[in-house]
Each structure stands twice: as structure tokens, then as C-alpha cells.
Chains A and B, each alone.
Chain A
Amino acid sequence: MSSDQFQTGRLTQFRELLERSDAALVLTAMAAFYLLFLGVGAILNYDVAGLISILGQVTFFTAVYALIVLALNLHWGYAGLFNIGIAGFMAVGVYTMAMLTAPPTGSPPGLGLPIAVGIVGGMLAAALVGLVTALPALRLRADYLAIVTVAISEIIRLTYNSPAFSTFTLPGGIALGTGGASGIGNFPSNPVRAIYYVDPSSAASGTTPIGAAVFGFFEAVFGVVRSAVIVDLTYGLVLAVVVFLVYTLLARVGNSPFGRVLKAIREDEVVAKSLGKDTNRFKIKTFMLGCALMGLAGVLWQGFGTGAVYPQAFRPELTFYIFIAVIIGGAGSNTGSVLGGAVFANLLFLLPQYLPTMIEQTFSIQANPNNFIAAVGPIAAGEIAPLLGYILNQRLPALRFVFVGVLLVYLMQNRPEGLLGHRTETAAAVDLSEGHTPGGQTGTDLTAPDEGGVDNE
């Protein structure tokens, strides 16, 4: 009895903690996802290296999705800018990075500049393309802006895809290239590798002192020998730090007079203008900052995360993924964005990749028909396995898209404010309630509005 009460008490306390503290909420969610995927790994009989690897994946995808969703939230959640050209801006970021840093002798040739220059250059290029888009397009209605941005993103993708710029020569004789349909794969490898390997581009080159120590530690404790797993995990943690930094940056943007104007623009642009705010300037700056962050996300995800960029990675589907994530989290909230990104990355993106193997292993399904008729035909004979085999082995990615679509429709019909509810964060650089001069009524006394004494309608 009393221990029951005690437990409910603890539970309520915990729930209150989650409601009060965004950090606790995010950490709890991440802990849940890590547990979930450890479970997945256990079902699949992974060894310790496999388990660490799966945790590294969870960290990576959560982080990159959180990053890009935060950037979109700045556009859509903060300023109401309906940008559905995200994939294009990501492409500009990572392609610029790759073209700036790839070796001049490679194929396609690059400029061979340092990685840092590449990252900053990628962000600047994405911001510039954002500026070119924003200058004319921000005057447009939201749905026109959507069509323009998706068209621009396709123009960007088709341009990178075109053989015309596969390699070209800049004035001055400097050769450069996008690699056309096959993309660029020879830009410098993930800078995190420099922590562990003497030559970051080759694991065989020998380990640095740090590398030796860390690998040695993991080997001693877990018996892990695959260093790549540890490198990936490290990169995931680096990304988590980046997400934290970007979150802090955006929280500052939101909790400031600048963010207040954005909020006003989203609600009623005419009012913001009538109060003397040059709303176009605010929108352009916001659009450029968001695009720069999208460029950064492209660099960290498709660039260093994948190790090669190619145009097909930037189809509009990617944009819609990110939209779904932001809608799940609830547009307008940075914490919601991180959570939305995490939910999408783990439950809708990563988990379905493990599902078929898990189900097959559990139910030992062998059938693998290669077309729908062959899959449903045997049902007449009472055999369901071919259909399951068809679904699991042939069509699970397609069904995932179908599910995502259904989810989107469901959300629009039932919870347009987001799965995690509508969260509002006060837009001010200081705690506004504190300013109440002593002696007056207290600012926290929230009389219900209809009881307010001023209304005599």
C-alpha cells in the first residue's frame, strides 16, 4: 500500500520534472531510444561491438535529424516561412564543402582547401542561395513560397546531377567539378578520424596516442577490436555537442527581441509592420541563418557522415521527412524539434531497417516472392508466409513511406499543432514576470480573463 503510494509519488515527481525541464525530457527520450535499440541488438544477437555500433547509429541519426529539424523550425516554427526546399540547401552546403576541400588532382577535382574552410564555405554558400531565394520569394503567399522553394531545390539537384558541371574549369585555369550523377567521394574524411589515426584517411596508418589509449580501453573493458565502431560513436557524440550548440544559438534567437518580432510575423505580419518592424529584413536574415544551418547539417550528415555526396540523396523526399519530424515535435519549439527529430530518426527511419531481420529471425520466414501476385496467390491455399516475405524482404521501405504518409494525414486531421503538443517558449531575453514593481498586484496572479474587471461588454 504505502510503497505503492511512494511509487506514484515518485512518478508524479518525475512527470513534473519532465514538464519543467527540457533537458530532462530530451535525456529521458534518448535513454528510452538507447534501451530500445539495445533490445533490438540483443534480439539480433549482436556482440558488444555490434551493440556499440547500433548506439552510434542512434546517436548519429538523432543528431543529424535534430540539427536539420532545428534549422527548419527556425524557418517555419519561428517565422512561418514555408520552405520545402530543404534538401536543396543541404546539397549546396555539402557540395560546396566537398568541392572546396577535394584534392585538385582527384576526380572530380576540388580546390584542396582545409576542412574548416570547406565547412564555413558550405554554410556561407547555402546562406547565399537562401538570400537569392528569399529576396524575391518572401513577398509571396505561403503556398507560392512552398512551390518556389521546392522548384529551386529541384533546380539545384538537377544542376549537380547534370554532366555539364561534372568537371569544369574556372577562369584562371582551376579545375573543379560536381561529379555529375555519381557525385563526389574524394573529399577529406571525417575530421574525427584525425583524433585516432595518424593519417585520417586510412585506418591502417597507425593510431595516435589518444587512439591507442581509447582503443586499448575498449578492448580491455569490452573486448572490442573494431576501431571504426569507436570512431563512429565519437562522431555521434561530436554531433550531439553541435546540436547542443545550435540549440543554444537558436534559443538565444528565440529569446530575444529579434525572436519576438519573428513570432509576431508568424502570427500577424500586418501588426508587426504597423508597430514599425521591417518584417522583410527579419525574414531574410532568418531565412539565411536557417539555410546556413541546413548547409551545416548537409555537411555533417551527407558529407562526413556518409563520406560521399551524390545528387540522388537530395530528392524532395528528404525535405518531407524533415517536415514530418518538425510536425511531430510541434513547430515553434526547439525542444520539440529535437524530440521530433529523435522520434522520426529512431522510430520511423532506423527501426524499420532492423524490423525485417528481427521478424524473420523470430518467425523464421524464408519465402521471398518477387511480385505481388506471387505473394498473395498462395493465400488461397492458406499460406500467409509468401505475403509476409514479400512485405518484409521486398517492400518494407515502400510501406514505411506509406505509413509516413498516413501519419502526416493523421497529424493534419487531428493534431496540426504536433504530436507532442503545442509548446510555447516566451520570446524575451529576460524573465518578464520578474519585472513587476513591488506593491502592485502580483504578476503571477492569473485571473481568468472573463473575470477581468475591465470588461463591460
Chain B
Amino acid sequence: MELYARGQQLLRDQPGLVVVAVAAMLLVGDLFGKLLGGGLTAARFGGFVWDGLVIGLLIGLAGIGLSLTYSILGFANFAHGDYISWGAFSGWAVAYLLAGIDRYAAGGLLLIGAGDGPAPGDVGVSITNTPGSILAGLVVAVGFTIGVSLLVDRLVYRPIREADGITLLIASIGVAFVLRYLIVFFFYSGRQGVTDISRVPSYDIGGVVINAHELTIVAIALALMVGVHLLLQRSKLGKAMRAMADNRDLAQVTGIPVEGVIRTTWILGGGLAGAAGYLVVLTQGTIAYDLGWLLLLLIFAAVIMGGIGSVYGAIVGGLVIGLASRLSLIWLTGDLSSFAEPVAFGLMIFVLLFRPEGIFGGVSTA
């Protein structure tokens, strides 16, 4: 009786939420039906889950930075996707260079095969074939993207630190244009193969095929996430960031070095975005100037779902979005498979409408 009354109340207050919940339950029910009835093999299901985890971890990794800058600087950074792209291009330029310098001219390698540069199959970059160059590329991707985000902050955002969120948002669209098309200027505008998939070993685990690049991504992403966790727990940084997100003026008065915290935020966020961009190429096998922009909406979805400002929320949100977009393929078969992305966008819109504080809002940490 009590439950019934509460249900009625919920239906009245949040009809949309109820509809979404019912739809989700129906889907889960259908999923079990498919799994038990044999419409979907466990291996195929496992494959979707694994793919979702891999992309979800990357979305989460990139989302940490977006979430932090959103809450601390108070604007949605539409250039974040292009930090990711620069991470990919800077890192892979170096990975290419190191992997192929013994055989090819440096120029073509640095431009990741632009013009008449060497083809990916010839350079043969892969984690098993050229582990050193892959790791060096990662380091450069992180470092370079940190540099980009600090430089952009200095030139663009710092002079208008006190401006409202919309002004900063529009400025970030300008930054996005500049960064994205500088990639085109130096590299190219098409999508190009990068890794040598033929040399990447893969393992069959209960029917789910997992390749070494995906394992690398999961390992590095988890390591970075643990690193961020420790950093925020062991230092006063997390606390200072939270204070600044709440009220920047107050934080300044209480002696928090505001500009310093902002710089640290960019370093953290930029670095993780660079790493995510670099790693995305590892799983996709291709690189394109707009790869970050294409991911950006998914990252926004993750960040909003996790609650803006929450590091752990961004990670969980990333996993939810990654899994949702891949698991939706269970139902979206054939021609409909092109709707995997719209499904994720749709999820984000629902969260914004019915729980704008995020589904994990209220447990925000750092």
C-alpha cells in the first residue's frame, strides 16, 4: 500500500524517469530472454561487454579532465575533444618516428604517413612489435597535450577568467576550431590507418576475442585512474579543487592558490585527455583530425551522467556510456547499428532532463 502510494507519487513527480526505468527493465528482461533462448550467444554478449568496457574506460579517462574543468572553471569546454585529437597526433607522430626511423625518412614518419609517407603495414607499429615506441608515444601524448592545454589557458581562458560560462563556452568553440584545423594544416584531413593490426596477437577467452592492444588500453587506463585517485586522496589537491568548484572567491579568500589549482586541473585534465586520444587510436587502428570531436559528445554524456565535478562519476559514467553504446547493438542489428551513437546521446539527454545533477550526484568526490 505504502509502496503503491510512493509509486504513484513518483509517477506524478517524474513521469519521464518512470518511463525510462520501465524501458530499461524491459530491455534487461529481453536480454535475459535472448541469452537463455539462444538468440544471443554468451560469446557475442561477452564481446559487446568487452568492447564497451574498452571504449568506456577511454571515455571515462578523457571525461575526468572535462568534468574537472567544467566544475572548477565553470564552463563546458567544447575544445576538450580537440585536446584528445592532439594527444593522438602528437603521440603517434613520435611512436611512428621511433618505430620506423631505421628504415624511413623522419619527415614522413613524423607526419604519420601524410602525403607519400610510409604505410602503417610497413612501419609495423604494435604493442608486441614495437613496445618501446608505443610507450614513448604515450608519454609524448600526455606531455604535449598538457602543454597545449596550459598554453590555451594562458592565451584564451585566463584573460576572461571572470566571464560567464557562455562566453567561455563560445571561446572554447573557437579554440576547438583552431586546434582541430591546425591538425589538418600539419597532418591531413582524412582518416588514416596507423597500427599494424596483422601483427597484434589476440586471445580467445571463452569465445570472446581480446587483442593485445585492448589489453594495453585497459591496463594503462586503469593505472592512470588509480594514479589520479591516489593523487587526489594523498594530497590536499582534491580538497582545494572541491572548494574552488563550490565558490572560487571564497576559496581565494581562504588562501587556496586559485591559479595554481587551475593549472593543476589543466595538467591533470589535459594529460588524461592526451592519453585517452593516443589510446583510442590503439583500439580503432586509425587516426583522424576529428576523432576527439566525434568522442566529445559521448564524453559530455559520461560527465553529465556521473555528475559534473566528480572524478569517479566521470569514470563510471564513461563505462555506462561505453557499455550502453555497445550493448545497444544487441537490438540495433543490420542497418540500425548506425544508431549506437544516437542511443548514447539520447541517454545523455534523458539524464540532463531528469537528473541534471547526474545519476551519481550527491556522492561527488573531488
Q: How far is the CB of A319 from chain B (nearest CB, A)?
A: 9
Given the contacts A148-B352, A398-B185, A402-B185, A416 and B115 also touching, CB distance less than 8 Å = no
B224 at the binding interface (Cβ < 8 Å) = no
A46 at the binding interface (Cβ < 8 Å) = no
Inter-chain contacts of B45 with A (CB < 8 A): none
Decide if B169 touches A143 in the complex (CB within 8 Å).
yes
Bound state CA distance, A372 and B116, in angstroms? 11
Whose C-beta in chain A lies nearest to the C-beta of B170? A412
Decide if B177 touches A401 in the complex (CB within 8 Å).
yes
Q: How far is the CB of A267 from chain B (nearest CB, A)?
A: 13
Given the contacts A148-B352, A405-B175, A155 and B346 also touching, CB distance less than 8 Å = yes
Inter-chain contacts of A405 with B (CB < 8 A): 173-179, 181
Tally B residues with Cβ within 8 Å of A: 56
A48 at the binding interface (Cβ < 8 Å) = no
B297 at the binding interface (Cβ < 8 Å) = yes
- Interface membership of chain B positions 104-124, coded 1 if the CB is closer than 8 angstroms to chain A and 0 otherwise: 000110110011110000000
B50 at the binding interface (Cβ < 8 Å) = no
Decide if A404 touches B177 in the complex (CB within 8 Å).
yes
Prevailing SS type, chain B contact patch: helix
Decide if A371 touches B117 in the complex (CB within 8 Å).
yes
Given the contacts A371-B114, A412-B167, A147 and B304 also touching, CB distance less than 8 Å = yes
Q: How far is the CB of B320 from chain A (nearest CB, A)?
A: 16
Inter-chain contacts of B353 with A (CB < 8 A): 136-137, 140, 148
**For window 167-196 of chain B, which residues contact chain A by CB distance below 8 Å?**
167-171, 173-182, 184-189
Decide if B187 touches A413 in the complex (CB within 8 Å).
no
Given the contacts A164-B338, A320-B173, A395 and B185 also touching, CB distance less than 8 Å = yes
- Interface membership of chain B positions 203-229, coded 1 if the CB is closer than 8 angstroms to chain A and 0 otherwise: 000000000000000000000000000
Q: How far is the CB of A249 from chain B (nearest CB, A)?
A: 27
Decide if A374 touches B349 in the complex (CB within 8 Å).
no
Given the contacts A142-B166, A408-B177, A374 and B338 also touching, CB distance less than 8 Å = no
Decide if A146 touches B76 in the complex (CB within 8 Å).
yes
Among B32-40, B156-164, B263-271, B276-284, which stretch is in contact with chain A? B156-164
Inter-chain contacts of B185 with A (CB < 8 A): 372, 395, 398-399, 402
Inter-chain contacts of A408 with B (CB < 8 A): 170-171, 173-174, 177
A42 at the binding interface (Cβ < 8 Å) = no
Inter-chain contacts of A406 with B (CB < 8 A): 174, 178
Inter-chain contacts of A398 with B (CB < 8 A): 181-182, 184-185, 189
Given the contacts A162-B336, A164-B335, A370-B115, A413 and B171 also touching, CB distance less than 8 Å = yes
Given the contacts A143-B165, A161-B338, A377-B107, A320 and B177 also touching, CB distance less than 8 Å = yes
B341 at the binding interface (Cβ < 8 Å) = yes
Given the contacts A140-B356, A162-B335, A412 and B116 also touching, CB distance less than 8 Å = no
Whose C-beta in chain B lies nearest to the C-beta of A321? B177
Whose C-beta in chain B lies nearest to the C-beta of A152? B349
Q: How far is the CB of B277 from chain A (nearest CB, A)?
A: 19
Q: A-contacting residues of B (Cβ < 8 Å)? A: 16, 75-76, 107-108, 110-111, 114-117, 156, 159-160, 163, 165-171, 173-182, 184-189, 297, 300-301, 304, 334-336, 338-339, 341-342, 345-346, 348-349, 352-353, 356
The 7 closest A-B pairs by CB, nearest first: A405-B177, A371-B115, A408-B174, A373-B107, A405-B178, A401-B181, A398-B184
Interchain Cβ contacts under 8 Å between A and B, 30 examples: A136-B16, A140-B352, A143-B75, A147-B300, A147-B348, A148-B352, A151-B300, A151-B345, A151-B349, A159-B342, A164-B335, A164-B338, A166-B335, A320-B177, A370-B114, A370-B116, A371-B117, A372-B111, A372-B114, A372-B186, A373-B108, A373-B115, A395-B185, A398-B184, A398-B185, A402-B177, A405-B178, A406-B174, A413-B156, A416-B167
Q: B-contacting residues of A (Cβ < 8 Å)? A: 82, 136-137, 140-144, 146-148, 150-152, 154-155, 158-159, 161-164, 166, 320, 323, 327, 369-374, 377, 395, 398-399, 401-402, 404-409, 412-413, 416
